[in-house]
Structure 1
Amino acid sequence: MRQRTNRPRHKKGDTGENSRDRWLITYADLITLLLIFFVMMFAMSRLDTQKYKEITQSLQLTFKSGDSILDQGSGITGTADKYNHKNPDTAIKTPQQQNKGAEQLSDRELAFRKQEQELQNLMKVISNYVKDNKLEDQIFVADQPQGISITLSDKFLFDVGKADLKTGSVPVLDKLASLFKELHTTISIEGHTDNLPIVYASKYKDNWELSGARALSVLRYFLDQRHLNAEEFQYAGYADTRPAADNATEAGRQKNRRVEIIVLRQLQE
């Protein structure tokens, strides 16, 4: 007698639709991920670093929210709207807002370019003045990374061991003052000496005091005699700590005894 086995019977209507539905769900999830990927790539091509962080946070909220399109959720748009509503200050900017920020950066870039042109004109005028007045051995002009450097020899400005300006230096300082008046940047006045100690009669204790006093004398002339804006100046004395030449020779020590006036490359806030 044949035994009857209890085989599972398919219910009516069960023809594999569930398997196909699962495949469609997987496909739909893939399409959603591709959409998110292209949105992110678009954002990276249009936004700066700060805005990239913002949209990354928005996408993270999308993944964490579980607000799936397949579950009849609102998807990316809904999550981004909620994020922007809660964080209006960090919301994703529209193209118009991005263009406004670009215009602000362009304005500052234009200001830097204008200042650079002014510095190059300054260097040209001073160089021609030095050449016309045959002062090449007393005044040296150079374009340095920090700005236009105008180096004045100590023999041109001061007597030995003193910080009082010589009368002969006044025309040059007047010329510089007339040029500085048109600038809107910081001007640094720096005093330097050689490495020999002060052994002659002097009211200054050492090279630190002497270099600082010499820089201050030049600054005082610009402020007290030419009435330039004090907020655009700074001064310092460096003694022999920043030599321009070798202190082992007299020629080198002479180059080190100097006052440098540097018109800095920077914009006033």
Structure 2
Amino acid sequence: MRQRQHERGRSWKKTPQNGDSKDRWMITYADLITLLLIFFVIMYGMSRLDVEKYEQVTQSLQHTFSSGNSIMSGGSGILDGSQGLNSGKDPSAPDTGSAGSADKAGQKNPDDSDDSKPLSERELAFRKQEEELQDLMARIEDYVKDNQLQDQIHVSDLPKGISITLSDRFLFDTGKADLKEGSAKTMAKLASLFKQLDTVISIEGHTDNQPIVRVSKFKDNWELSGARALSVLRFFLDKEKLDPQHFQYAGYADTRPAADNTTADGRQKNRRVEITVLRQLQQ
């Protein structure tokens, strides 16, 4: 009896196996391979294009664009009619347009008041000044033409203002900064036109790159260009009694050439005085 119980007890006892602990890594490895397989299957499924849905979307877009009125022909584009914001409007009703748009070809909505917006005082002042500058340029050009001074005086409309370029042969003797008597008439004419303006007038003296001769009282071209600009300024202030607050002057020597200094004709063009009526309002 005891022997049977002992044998029964031995039959329930599990005999350990040496191979179980060594092969457990295969379970983890198999799980990893399974997860990788699932991952690639999902990626492949997401990369497949649903042809039927693609065709439905394409047809829907084509229908939407083809059913809208053209903006170029007065319509409101793809949002017109039943496709957009006006879906609640009766299609048979006449199109009266929308606020801020043109009611008819060539006619604007009366409610659109952009063009009727009053200009500010500064904008009006700029417009007035521009009209004055254009009138000034026309009058100087007529004066130059009537007196046949095309070779001595040149007028141009630049972004910074109306530029009046006077040749040194018209204003000065060689190496000197005193105005010639023959230039007084033209300078007085310019002064009479400047009196009507409320802006800044810049006077700039320029020379060529040739050094100053010994007989000149000026040390270099810087002194000569500055003295010539100052002589023109003095004429306007002392003889014509113009307001000094409207003027500024400078001498630039040969640093701002208008032509090539290697030729005699180019050097002649560089010896000049530029009077520029600036596009700026006085405070």
1:192 counterpart residue number: 206
SS at structure 2 position matched to 1:134: coil
Amino acid at match of 1:217: S
Compare CA radii of gyration and give the structure with the larger one: 2
2:251 counterpart residue number: 237
1:136 and 1:185 map into 2 onto residues whose CA distance is: 26
Which of residues 129, 135, 148 is equivalent to 1:134? Answer: 148
Shift of 1:200: 3.9
More helix by share: 1
Contact 1:194 1:257 in 2 (8 A): yes
SS at structure 2 position matched to 1:261: strand
SS at structure 1 position matched to 2:282: coil
Question: Does residue 121 in structure 1 map to residue 135 in structure 2?
Answer: yes
Amino acid at match of 1:119: L
2:188 and 2:200 map into 1 onto residues whose CA distance is: 18
Structure 1 runs of 4+ aligned residues shifted over 2 Å read none
2:201 and 2:213 map into 1 onto residues whose CA distance is: 32
SS at structure 2 position matched to 1:143: strand
SS at structure 2 position matched to 1:211: helix
Shift of 1:262: 0.2
Amino acid at match of 1:199: V
1:255 and 1:113 map into 2 onto residues whose CA distance is: 33
Matches within 5 A, 1:125-164: 125-164=139-178
Shift of 1:133: 0.1
Shift of 1:199: 1.9
TM (norm. structure 2) is: 0.58
SS at structure 2 position matched to 1:116: helix
1:268 and 1:208 map into 2 onto residues whose CA distance is: 30
Aligned length: 168
Shift of 1:233: 0.2
Amino acid at match of 1:192: H
Which of residues 209, 234, 238 is equivalent to 1:220? Answer: 234
2:182 and 2:163 map into 1 onto residues whose CA distance is: 21
1:230 and 1:107 map into 2 onto residues whose CA distance is: 25
Amino acid at match of 1:239: A
Shift of 1:107: 1.6
Amino acid at match of 1:169: S
Amino acid at match of 1:196: Q
TM (norm. structure 1) is: 0.61
2:267 counterpart residue number: 253
1:106 and 1:199 map into 2 onto residues whose CA distance is: 55
Matches within 5 A, 1:1-269: 106-269=120-283
Structure with bigger RCO (C-alpha 8 Å, 6+ apart):
1
Unaligned runs of 5+ in 2: 1-116
Q: Percent identity?
A: 74
Contact 1:186 1:264 in 2 (8 A): yes
Shift of 1:106: 1.9
Amino acid at match of 1:152: L
Contact 1:161 1:200 in 2 (8 A): no
Unaligned runs of 5+ in 1: 1-101
SS at structure 2 position matched to 1:188: strand
